[in-house]
Amino acid sequence: MPEAGGLHHDFHGPEGAPTLILSSGLGGAGGYWAPNLAALSENHRVLTYDQRGTGRSDRALPETTSIADMAQDVVALMDALDIDTAHFVGHALGGMIGIEASLLSGRIDRLVVVNGWRTLSPHTRRCFEARLAILRGAGIEPFLRAQPLFLYPPDWIAAHDADLEAELAHHIAAFPGAETMEKRIAAVAAWAPTSERLAKLRDVLVIATRDDFLVPQATSLDLAGPIPGADIATFGWGGHACNVSDPKGFNRLALGFLGS
């Protein structure tokens, strides 16, 4: 099992191609990117990984964790795998990790942030509070059953109900635990980069989805404000996990930016 520094990882695509790191959101597992791997790995050496505390990576977390800690894990993984520089695509929390890794190391070439933010919306905070209340009061299975409501459009959920039901047992088995999930949500909620730090970034694409139930579109677009020359793209439909609900559209957009 490929592992470095406690992080499980996998490579996809041709050796010698430009490296592209994919970082998922709150769930943390590299398997989140399955709908995108074939397209993204055609001309890139794609690196997926399970964030610390999730998936097949080291499940032990300190008493508190931060986005900066998660970014340090990425830089350490790049060091361990002899990756000098890489492109980076991050979904929500993963995008925050990409921002911090870029600022920390200067080794991220082009960065795509999908439905992220720089200031936590009151709406998003309410969503996190509701999800934590479900986890604390009803347990893991109800928490995971509610999860698609925050990720996908209603018509997509209805059309994929059987698939979501079939995947539930896997998600229950892979769940990192309530304590870890609480720590990860706390880290996301606490992240608040200054405009001065964001102004140091270059070559960034910010993606926002109009019907994202978890993160208001305006909040995602606001991330681009302090970033000089940031590219902006919007999806009219697709929900928070637009790369899953509309993989063809997402792949085309991401590859266009990475190859431009």
For the stretch 51-86, pLDDT in tens is 999 999 999 999 999 999 999 999 999 999 999 999
Rounded average pLDDT over 117-145: 98
Amino acid identity, residue 161? Answer: D
Longest dimension (CA), the chain: 49
In this structure, which long-range contacts are made by residues 79-86, counting pairs with CB atoms below 8 Å and at least 24 apart in sequence? 80/4, 80/5, 81/4, 81/9, 81/47, 83/19, 83/47, 83/107, 85/19, 85/109, 86/18, 86/19, 86/20, 86/21, 86/47
Reported as a pLDDT band with limits 50, 70 and 90, residue 260 is confident
**8 Å CB contact between 7 and 73:** yes
* The pLDDT of residue 157 is above 90: yes
Structural domains in the chain (count): 1
Residue 176 has what pLDDT? Answer: 95
CA distance 82 to 256: 26
What's residue 253's pLDDT? 98
* Sign of the alpha-carbon dihedral angle for 222, 114, 55, 153: positive
- Give the pLDDT confidence score for residue 36 in this predicted structure: 98
Q: How many CB atoms lie within 10 A of CB 82?
A: 6
Distance of alpha carbon 117 from its chain centroid, rounded? 12
pLDDT over 90, % of the chain = 99
Those residues whose C-beta lies under 8 Å from the C-beta of residue 134, and which sit 6 or more positions away, are 142, 143, 146
Question: Please, are residues 9 and 83 in contact by the beta-carbon 8 Å criterion?
Answer: no
For 167, the domain range is 3-258
pLDDT at 148 (0 to 100): 98
Q: How far apart are CA 164 and CA 101, in angstroms?
A: 32
Going from the C-alpha of 172 to that of each of 24, 36, 42, 84, 160, the distances in angstroms are 18, 23, 32, 36, 18
**Residue 233 CB coordination number (10 Å):** 18
Q: Write down the pTM of the prediction.
A: 0.98
pLDDT over threshold 80, residue 224: yes
In the predicted model, what is the mean pLDDT of the chain? 97
* Residue 125 belongs to domain with CATH number: 3.40.50.1820
User: H or E segment at 109?
Assistant: strand 108-114
Calculate mean pLDDT across residues 145-162.
Answer: 98
Position 1 scores a pLDDT of 65
Residue 116 pairs with which residues in a beta bridge? none
Residues 169-180 pLDDT 10s: 999 999 999 999
